[in-house]
């Protein structure tokens, strides 16, 4: 029962209840009637949201160079707007922070928290635990237990000196629990912002944090019973929660599966179902709150029964995440910050003791993760990074603290101290993670023994392994044709690692798993065309003239980090060649920039040779019975051209169906150019390597009618271009190296970049891929030998082939 005290009412657990009179709060008529908008609820809330957005976004812009996450900026914005700073000014407090407006704003913030927790459940892939290695289990649970042991011991021994923990009994155990958790969605979001999600360390961190989430939700479920006043109430509340969970995982899950089955493959989910599910979030929050549980558990249960990824999970994330994460959730963070009052800290003795416990809890988490990482034979520097990652705090910690202060489980000083500690540890470890991760090699596994995996160094009569990336059905035909032309024979069969890629939508963590069409749950994370793509390659393997093995993989990842998984797979499987499709179709223009940057990233980090296939439509047919293929290699010398010639040498063994022509262009200016002694020695070494590859091709094709060698000596770049243009209309595929050193000798790099539209193809490759060359009907394969430190930038030039030749002519005439 509430007890009146002065102008306020003290609730059951000591929470102040402020009474407000019924004043002008509904029908705002405008300033022309003398009404002040700040005397009314709606205009005041709108003004508050605008101010919050401007200040929080401004802080994000200022702190982003320091690698601070968004939630830190939002909470700091709330603290600045709170009673500690701007909110403490009487006129501001009287204008923006009246009780009625504050309650409405708090309600919006809580709704944002409910939908955020729902999306956490939707994007959580529980199968990640089953796929996690034992080391990640060990690191996650051992670091958690050590931190829990240290903080529990300290808190229970000092409990009499911590009056800020108002709620006693079993709740006291939840305080050290909150200091020991590492939440999976928090880690995933931080790694995404730091561009570390697809690294091995990021994968290990997310796997280790996943188990912590299940421990948290388990104890949160138990809190349903602990928060009740009597044993009978606890039993009723716990029984009601179990019934709600069973109802969700049986009835609701069945309806969700029915929605997915009713949706045709490749078609979007009906908006009616999306709206029903979003309304269901509020219903589940009401139901869980109604039975005496926390309102967070209902949305979480609903999110967990929705399969992650396409079609339903991705649709929900696409339609709601932007509004929730960029509008509603910042309101919650700001509300947390606004509730943080620095002036409320008065008991400095308790503050110091509790702060020591908090710091020791974080340190024990760090030390525990570090020690157990080292015991798993993880490098020391990587173990340090992992220990820092496991101390990142974020959304779920703040929601938990806000729930405690709202339910008066802790006092305002303890709440403020916990919020500041959460902000402090995150603001410290996040920049440290960024600094240490930049000092490490991004793909340390990919950088070992890189020179062992090239086409020139590949042993003869061994299995030829190729990694092919497929983004859509458009590139299937060209890749299959290229595989057949690669001469699969008994002594050197072809093993193709087929990676079907999809953008990371509706999943919290990236995915790279072998394809298994029998696992229906996993299939929901794939695109609608996945089955057709992989079936086409499997049918080709069965009907190929030689032995071909297809090993399909499914990858769901962010485009900016997708290359790391590809390079790691190539490293682990000792693959000498990666083939990437180059998108030309305008209907994919929305993702063209992402895919081309992905190609450039693979070129920069790949541990082997990379070929970019520009498909213009092969003139040969798909029928393997009447298969014929005509290839020409444009050879100017250098490591990239040697890889192209080595690949053509393998193709030339298939003399019944493949004809190979090598056009070697010798530029006299190369020989006559004055060079330093060091440059001359390097040029001599390169020339010797060129001759080795050339002689290998010639010896292997002595007397062969299907192979042809041409040599042309030219004086300048104009003759080079005229010679290249002579290949028009006679071949199915043109193979070139990506190198640009020959052209850089005749002009500056900056000038050359002005007329290269797609630098990932190189100068010659970019010209051959243009619509001006051969009417845009000849496919091009651009080869790049592995290299360190390659960076690729895109220029916006759209100059035609004729303009390029004219510009080259002007430089040649100088």
Average pLDDT score, the chain: 80
Give the pLDDT band of residue 591 (cuts 50, 70, 90): low
| Parts of the chain belonging to CATH 3.40.50.12370 | 455-518+527-668+686-787
pLDDT in tens, 474-483: 889 889 999 9
Q: Mean pLDDT over residues 758-782, rounded?
A: 79
Give the pLDDT band of residue 572 (cuts 50, 70, 90): confident
pLDDT in tens, 304-361: 999 877 788 888 988 898 899 888 888 888 888 888 989 999 999 999 999 999 999 9
Q: Which pLDDT value is given to residue 236? A: 87
Closest C-alpha among 49, 119, 133, 129 to residue 330: 49
Q: Dihedrals φ, ψ of 246, to 5°?
A: -65, -40
Report whether 534 contacts 495 (CB < 8 A): no
Q: Where are the beta strands (DSSP E) in 558-645?
A: 577-582, 609-614, 629-635
Number of C-beta neighbours around residue 50 at 10 A: 10
As its CATH architecture, domain 38-441 has Up-down Bundle (1.20)
Cα gap 640→739, rounded to integer Å: 6
Q: Which pLDDT value is given to residue 4? A: 44
How far are the Cα atoms of 66, 199, 394, 712 from residue 427, in angstroms, in the given order? 9, 22, 11, 63
Retrieve residue 29's tokens.
Answer: 């008529």
Report whether 551 contacts 583 (CB < 8 A): no
Give the pLDDT band of residue 755 (cuts 50, 70, 90): low
| Residue 502, helix vs strand vs coil | strand
Retrieve residue 267's tokens.
Answer: 């078609």
pLDDT in tens, 492-549: 899 999 999 888 776 767 778 888 765 544 444 455 578 888 989 999 999 888 899 9
| Parts of the chain belonging to CATH 1.20.1530.20 | 38-441
Say what angle helices 200-226 and 184-193 make with each other, to 10 degrees: 150
Q: What is the CATH number of domain 455-518+527-668+686-787?
A: 3.40.50.12370
Query: Longest Cα pair distance anywhere in the chain, in angstroms?
Result: 108
Helix segments in 376-394, DSSP class H: 380-389
Q: Mean pLDDT over residues 5-12, rounded?
A: 45
Find residue 630's DSSP bridge partners: 659
Q: Which pLDDT value is given to residue 584? A: 64
Q: For the whole model, what pTM was predicted?
A: 0.78
Which of 472 and 273 is assigned the larger pLDDT? Answer: 273
- Among the residue ranges 212-226, 228-242, 256-270, 511-525, the one predicted with the least confidence is 511-525
Which of 583 and 811 is assigned the larger pLDDT? Answer: 583
Q: Which pLDDT value is given to residue 194? A: 82
pLDDT in tens, 96-138: 777 777 888 888 889 999 999 999 888 877 666 655 556 777 8
CA 744 to chain centre: 36
Cα gap 744→641, rounded to integer Å: 16
Say what angle helices 200-226 and 231-247 make with each other, to 10 degrees: 130
Per-residue pLDDT at 578 exceeds 90: yes
């Amino acid at each position: 029962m509430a007890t009146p005290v002065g102008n306020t009412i003290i609730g059951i657990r000591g929470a102040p209840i402020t009474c407000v009179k019924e004043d002008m709060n509904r029908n705002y008529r405008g300033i022309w009637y003398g009404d002040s908008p700040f005397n009314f609820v709606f205009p005041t809330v709108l003004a508050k949201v605008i101010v919050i957005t401007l200040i929080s976004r401004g802080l994000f812009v200022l702190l982003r160079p320091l690698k601070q996450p968004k939630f830190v900026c939002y909470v700091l914005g709330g603290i600045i707007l709170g009673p500690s700073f701007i909110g403490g000014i009487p006129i501001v407090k009287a204008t923006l922070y009246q009780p009625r407006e504050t309650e409405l704003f708090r309600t919006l913030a809580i709704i944002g928290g409910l939908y955020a927790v729902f999306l956490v459940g939707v994007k959580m892939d529980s199968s990640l635990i089953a796929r996690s290695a034992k080391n990640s289990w060990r690191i996650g649970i051992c670091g958690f237990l050590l931190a829990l042991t240290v903080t529990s011991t300290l808190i229970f021994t000092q409990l009499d000196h911590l009056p800020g923990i108002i709620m006693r009994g079993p709740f006291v155990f939840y305080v050290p629990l909150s200091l020991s958790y590492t939440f999976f969605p928090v880690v995933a979001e931080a790694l995404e912002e730091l561009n570390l999600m697809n690294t091995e360390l990021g994968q290990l961190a997310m796997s280790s944090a996943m188990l912590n989430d299940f421990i948290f939700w388990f104890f949160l479920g138990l809190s349903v019973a602990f928060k009740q006043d009597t044993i009978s109430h606890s039993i009723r509340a716990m029984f009601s929660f179990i019934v709600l969970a069973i109802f969700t995982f049986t009835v609701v899950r069945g309806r969700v599966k029915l929605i997915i089955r009713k949706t045709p493959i490749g078609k979007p989910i009906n908006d009616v179902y999306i709206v029903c599910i979003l309304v269901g979030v509020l219903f589940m929050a009401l139901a869980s709150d109604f039975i005496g549980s926390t309102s967070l558990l209902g949305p979480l249960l609903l999110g967990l029964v929705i399969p992650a990824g396409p079609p339903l999970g991705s649709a929900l994330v696409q339609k709601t995440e932007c509004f929730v994460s960029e509008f509603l959730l910042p309101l919650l963070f700001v509300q947390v910050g606004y509730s943080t009052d620095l002036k409320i800290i008065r008991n400095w003795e308790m503050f110091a003791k509790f702060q020591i416990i908090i710091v020791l809890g974080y340190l024990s988490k760090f030390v525990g993760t570090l020690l157990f990482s080292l015991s798993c034979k993880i490098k020391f520097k990587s173990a340090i990074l992992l220990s820092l990652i496991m101390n990142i705090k974020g959304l779920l910690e703040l929601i938990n603290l806000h729930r405690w202060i709202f339910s008066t489980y802790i006092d305002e000083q303890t709440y403020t101290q916990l919020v500041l500690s959460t902000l402090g540890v995150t603001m410290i470890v996040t920049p440290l993670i960024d600094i240490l991760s930049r000092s490490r090699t991004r793909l340390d596994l990919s950088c070992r023994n890189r020179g062992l995996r090239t086409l020139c160094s590949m042993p003869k009569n061994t299995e030829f392994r190729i990694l092919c990336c497929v983004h859509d059905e458009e590139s299937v035909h060209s890749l299959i044709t290229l595989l057949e032309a690669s001469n699969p024979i008994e002594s050197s069969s072809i093993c193709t690692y087929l990676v079907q890629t999809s953008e990371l939508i509706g999943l919290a963590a990236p995915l790279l798993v072998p394809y298994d069409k029998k696992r229906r749950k996993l299939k929901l994370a794939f695109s609608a065309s996945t089955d057709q793509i992989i079936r086409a390659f499997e049918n080709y393997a069965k009907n190929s003239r030689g032995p071909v093995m297809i090993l399909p993989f499914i990858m769901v990842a962010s485009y900016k980090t997708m290359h790391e998984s590809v390079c790691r797979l190539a490293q682990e499987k000792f693959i000498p060649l990666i083939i990437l499709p180059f998108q030309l179709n305008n209907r994919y223009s929305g993702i063209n920039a992402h895919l081309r940057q992905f190609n450039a990233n693979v070129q920069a980090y790949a541990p082997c040779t990379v070929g970019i296939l520009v498909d213009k439509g092969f003139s040969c047919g798909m029928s393997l019975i009447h298969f014929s293929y005509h290839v020409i290699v444009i050879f100017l010398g250098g490591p990239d051209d040697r890889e192209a010639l080595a690949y053509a040498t393998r193709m030339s063994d298939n003399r019944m169906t493949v004809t190979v022509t090598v056009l070697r262009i010798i530029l006299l200016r190369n020989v006559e150019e004055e060079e330093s002694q060091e440059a001359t020695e390097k040029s001599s070494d390169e020339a010797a390597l060129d001759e080795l590859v050339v002689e290998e091709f010639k010896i292997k094709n002595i007397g062969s009618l299907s192979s042809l060698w041409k040599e042309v000596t030219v004086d300048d770049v104009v003759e080079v271009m005229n010679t290249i243009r002579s290949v028009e209309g006679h071949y199915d595929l043109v193979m070139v190296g990506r190198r640009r050193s020959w052209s850089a000798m005749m002009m500056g790099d900056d000038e050359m970049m002005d007329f290269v539209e797609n630098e990932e193809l190189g100068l010659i490759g970019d010209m051959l891929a243009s619509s001006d060359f051969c009417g845009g009907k000849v496919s091009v394969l651009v080869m790049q030998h592995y290299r360190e430190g390659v960076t690729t930038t895109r220029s916006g030039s759209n100059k035609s082939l004729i303009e390029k030749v004219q510009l080259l002519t002007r430089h040649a005439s100088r």
